[in-house]
Amino acid sequence: TAKQDIPYVVRHYQQNLDDNNYTLVETENLVGEADKQVSPAVKSYTGFKQPDVQTKVIAAYGSTIIEYKYPRETYVIALNKGTGIASVSGAGTYKYGESVTIDATVSTTGDFNWVNWTGSFTTTTKKYTFTATSNVTVTANAQETITFAVYSATDKSFRLYRSTTVPTAGSTYKGRTATAVYKGIDKTNFTSYEEQPWANYALSVKKVVVEDVIYPTNTAWWFGDMRNCPSFTVGNINMSKCINA
């Protein structure tokens, strides 16, 4: 007569995070009939792959041990470069639970500023650390800040701004009609006031205001021939990058 209630052991191991070895996480002490086959069920662990079910014969003297090893899932971290991004780092394949650090380098060509990562998640942190629990695809984004001037016939003002959005001529901007809009003036080297694209309006200007802090490389002849203007508010011009004033 076959012996009943013969003990056997099922051990469940999970792959380590830092190496390819395995650590015992759960033990089942079971019983069955001697010399009979058993196929113990595998477990379901988040972030781990299930091994194939094993079938073994229960040894009559209780020496049967079945070991299940669960490898970690692996995930792909894909990074894309959006507008104004020179490079990204941190892409690759990672094990479940592994720490991932991604970073981006903003382009130095143009006046770009960091905005965010978008895609599988959104964060404004440029150097961002998270735990790998799924495939991830994100894009690094920057936005160009543009220095521009607006002449408005509404109050005969010439105003300079630094913003990511630029009005079009004829639109209403900051409560005034943008009669004319001039981009790129912070990097243009004028050699005379006649070269200024706003030369036709210079004598009409009654107020000059630098509304935002700007960092021009050239300011030569900006206000040339504005001899009828009694008011200049230009304290927001930062001259640290200026090579021709």
pLDDT at 125: 98
* Amino acid at site 15: Q
pLDDT band at 156 (very low <50, low <70, confident <90, very high): very high
Contact 223, 173 (CB under 8 A): no
Question: What average pLDDT is seen over the chain?
Answer: 95
pLDDT band at 244 (very low <50, low <70, confident <90, very high): confident
Distance CA 10, CA 96 (A): 24
Please tell me which residue, 129 or 218, carries the higher pLDDT value. 129
Contact 221, 193 (CB under 8 A): yes
Distance CA 203, CA 205 (A): 6
Bridge partners, 114 (sequence order) = 142
For the segment 52-59, the average pLDDT, to the nearest whole number, is 97
pLDDT, tens digit (0-9, with 9 covering 90-100), for 124-151? 999 999 999 999 999 999 999 999 999 9
pLDDT at 2: 64
Distance CA 139, CA 25 (A): 38
- Percent with pLDDT over 90 in the chain: 85
Contact 228, 208 (CB under 8 A): no
pLDDT, tens digit (0-9, with 9 covering 90-100), for 170-210? 999 999 999 999 998 888 888 888 898 999 999 999 999 99
pLDDT at 1: 57
- Percent with pLDDT over 70 in the chain: 99
